[in-house]
């Protein structure tokens, strides 16, 4: 027998304010058709004044814990994927830990849009080693706080939100029939550091800065890297692509999502798509999409779910889970 990280539940939270493409077109040189054709996005949620990343994370975590039938005090480990922390330090995860009344330890993971997959991999490894029984893995962002709202090349792409899952140690046979996380695969390449970055930071400029992106290069690398992440997950578990029931991808661009679905030979309805309503919520995008599909009943127990993401750094990765 082997130890597996079973995914008990998922939860999500989106800020109340919705900003449509038409609303953005009133302040910058863009229009709804231009944004939709290039990205698939029609709206995004924006955090309210004073609403922090930790607030979004706590709300998503409460829902995930309630769906799992657990309390905050049952949680041994909190790992939060975010690139928009409340403060430079301490880790935003520690604030979430305090509010939830959780025990054990809490930490942040900064892998930008890949943050949730990186956090999931870390929590899975803690569970496999027997160091943690119940883990809370969160992706939460207030990305609107690091956008230049006059730059149409970036501000139209992103939104705010949070998603969370609860993992619990369970026994498995060590093969692809097991329930839980079957494998995770993480990668990075710092040679592309300046393709997607924020032009500020405590050490560099002592400012927060704004997102800067070479969109054409990011798109090109995303298609190649995400395809590779999918292939390695399939090969590692000795499955065929057609055994995957659901693709839950990072929600950056509809064209990239469609490309990955075609690679898996999945019908369009088997890819969970929220980019049209959420835009790119960075580390929150996968758990937001996952929570939606789990809680509306699309994803069912026993099904194979493949998650993949790529973010600044570049970082990228995948995770294969039997729900």
Question: What is the set of active-site residues?
Answer: 113, 250, 280
Q: What is the DSSP string of 162-199?
A: EEEEEEEEEEE-SSTTSSEEEEEEEEE-GGGGGGEEES
On whether the CB atoms of residues 215 and 208 are closer than 8 A, the answer is no
The residue with tokens 């973010």 is 311
Closest CA relative to residue 123, chosen from 61, 87, 76: 76
17 burial via Cβ count (<10 Å: 0-12, 13-18, 19+): middle
On whether the CB atoms of residues 106 and 98 are closer than 8 A, the answer is no
Closest CA relative to residue 311, chosen from 205, 229, 209: 229
Q: What is the DSSP string of 46-102?
A: EPPTT--HHHHHHHHHHHHHHHHT--GGG-SEEEEE-SS-SSSSS-HHHHHHHHHT-
The residue with tokens 């599909």 is 293
């Amino acid at each position: 027998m082997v130890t597996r990280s079973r995914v008990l539940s998922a939860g999500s939270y989106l800020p109340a304010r919705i900003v449509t493409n038409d609303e953005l077109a009133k302040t910058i040189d863009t229009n709804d058709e231009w944004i939709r054709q290039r990205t698939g996005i029609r709206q995004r949620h924006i955090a309210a004044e004073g609403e922090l990343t930790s607030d979004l994370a706590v709300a998503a975590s409460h829902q995930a814990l309630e769906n799992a039938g657990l309390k905050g005090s049952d949680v041994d480990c909190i790992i939060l994927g975010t690139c928009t922390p409340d403060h430079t330090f301490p880790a935003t995860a520690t604030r979430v830990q305090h509010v939830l009344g959780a025990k054990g330890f809490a930490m942040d993971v900064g892998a930008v849009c890949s943050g949730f997959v990186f956090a999931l991999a870390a929590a899975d490894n803690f569970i496999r080693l027997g160091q943690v029984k119940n883990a809370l893995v969160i992706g939460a962002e207030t990305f609107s706080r690091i956008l230049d709202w006059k730059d149409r090349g970036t501000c139209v792409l992103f939104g705010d939100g949070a998603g969370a899952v609860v993992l619990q140690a369970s026994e498995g046979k060590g093969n692809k029939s097991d329930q839980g996380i079957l494998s995770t695969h993480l990668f990075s390449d710092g040679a592309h550091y300046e393709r997607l970055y924020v032009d500020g930071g405590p050490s560099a400029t002592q400012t927060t800065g704004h997102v800067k992106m070479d969109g054409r290069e990011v798109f090109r690398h995303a298609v190649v890297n995400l395809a590779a992440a999918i292939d390695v997950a399939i090969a590692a578990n000795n499955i065929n692509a057609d055994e995957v029931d659901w693709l839950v991808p990072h929600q950056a661009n509809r064209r990239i999502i469609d490309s990955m679905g075609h690679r898996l030979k999945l019908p369009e309805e088997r890819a969970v798509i929220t980019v049209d309503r959420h835009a790119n919520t960075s580390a929150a995008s996968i758990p937001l999409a996952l929570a939606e599909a789990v809680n509306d009943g699309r994803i069912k127990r026993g099904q194979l779910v493949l998650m993949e993401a790529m973010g600044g750094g570049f970082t990228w990765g995948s995770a294969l889970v039997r729900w």
